[in-house]
Amino acid sequence: MRKGANIEEPTFRVTRARAAACKPSVGSEAPKGQGQDRLLRKNPKRSVLDEKNNNTRVSSAQNKRRAVLKDVTNICCDNNSYKNCIIPAKITKKTTKITKKNPIKPQQVSAQTQSTAVDHIDLDKSVIHQKGTHIAERENTNRIGKRVGSQLQSFSKKGRNNINEKTIIATKVDFTDIDSDEKDPLMCSMYAHEIYNNLRASELIHRPHSNFMETMQRDVTQSMRGVLVDWLVEVSEEYKLVPDTLYLTVYLIDSFLSQQYIERQKLQLLGITCMLIASKYEEMCAPSIEEFCFITDNTYTKSEVVNMEGQVLNKLNFQFSAPTTKTFVRRFLRAAPASNQSPSLELEFLANYLAELTLIDYNFLVFVPSNVAASVVFLARWMLDQSRHPWNDTLEHYTSYKPSDLKNTVLALHVLRSSDISSPLNAIRSKYMQDKFKCVASLPSPQVPETLF
């Protein structure tokens, strides 16, 4: 600061706008309008704030105008009283316009105040009416709520009674819960019931025709089919295939023969092709195409097997997940605990032996796989122990079959087992004559009385 200057240093920050406002003008004073324009140009932030304030005023005025719209959705009046709320707002706007343009005389003012007073009275009446309607609606809702609450309580009592009746009925049936063991994750005990319900529905959808020999096939007979299945049992033993592969093979053969005519020269080709497909589906290490060609003594080439495989896959639309008799036998055997005189392992081998016998007989296509599986368990329990009834509440619960539902299948199965001793198709009998299967094929087959059903 220069010497001799009596100007004190300001205690606040001097901005350009303040400096311009405090600076004395040189020459003549500018007009007020020009000075205001200069200030607005020098302080653009102020102008922006003023514009924002003006915009907020305009928007607030617009928001207020929306209250007089007739399509307001937040009005809950049952009558047309909302019109009384809209009309006075319009009248006040008109009166304000009139006061600006033409002054009103005192007589007109008194008349106007009377009209506005009448309007206010109407508004008060409408508000009172709205409050009355809301109070009445609230009372009605309270009455309805009390009535509904009493009905719900009565319904809940009825529901509890029904549940108690169902539990009493359920407890009357004495069956063993075979899905109570949740320690073994491979048993899928939590989902077993739903899984087998879906399988019961699936066996009806994916099912070969039971009369394709009479309707579709003209060159292939029932005995030829039996010879083919008997030979496939030997092939499965030769390659040590799992039983599910054999059952799926027979299912694929019957499904293809139900839809496609085939000559007898290609019947064996169809058999090894279906076993190849089933091996790919069920086995961890499926035999190769060359091995299946070799077991037919090279009667068919690799290209013929591949072509037949394509025909089978296309004809069946790649549907291989149908349940077989083996699927249900495995489940029903868990529900059939054997007595002390008959070990469960022997019961399992005998049931599997009877189930594989049904693969050879074409007439068993009339029965669904679950019915055949239940009949197999029924007859196997009777063959091992004739001192008690072969059926119980647990089997009836898990198979959904009563003894009367199994009568025809059990009698047909008993005839098949009795004729197996003299049948030339002895692959299954010789298989279950081995010691590893407890020689169950040599067990006697007692007569099945009709009193069991």
Summarised one tens digit per residue, pLDDT across range 281-321 is 999 999 999 999 999 999 999 999 999 999 999 999 998 88
Range with the poorest average pLDDT among 45-54, 396-405, 442-451:
45-54
Q: Which fold, 206-322?
A: Cyclin A; domain 1 (1.10.472)
Note whether 188-201+323-453 and 206-322 share their fold: yes
Q: Which CATH class is domain 188-201+323-453?
A: mainly alpha
How do residues 177-206 score in pLDDT, each as one tens digit? 877 766 777 777 788 888 899 999 999 998
Contact (Cβ atoms closer than 8 angstroms) between residue 329 and residue 373 = yes
Give me 253's structure tokens.
């053969």
| Nearest alpha carbon to residue 376 among 356, 405, 396 | 356
pLDDT at 341 over 70: no
How do residues 167-179 score in pLDDT, each as one tens digit? 344 444 576 787 7
Residue 383 identity (one-letter amino acid) = M
Torsion of CA 251, 255, 257, 261, to 10 degrees: -150
Q: Whose structure tokens read 């022997």?
A: 346
Q: Give the whole-angstrom CA distance, residue 343 versus residue 261.
A: 46
pLDDT at 405 over 60: yes
pLDDT at 11 over 80: no
| Nearest alpha carbon to residue 254 among 158, 165, 359 | 359
User: What is the model's pTM?
Assistant: 0.62
Question: Which of 109-118, 368-377, 412-421 reaches the highest mean pLDDT?
Answer: 368-377
- A 10 A CB-CB count for 118 gives 10
Contact (Cβ atoms closer than 8 angstroms) between residue 321 and residue 369 = no
Q: Give the whole-angstrom CA distance, residue 355 versus residue 352.
A: 5
- A 10 A CB-CB count for 262 gives 19
**Residue 193: predicted pLDDT:** 86
Q: Give the whole-angstrom CA distance, residue 423 versus residue 429.
A: 10
**Residue 190: predicted pLDDT:** 83
Domain segments of the chain: what residues? 33-71, 82-148, 188-201+323-453, 206-322
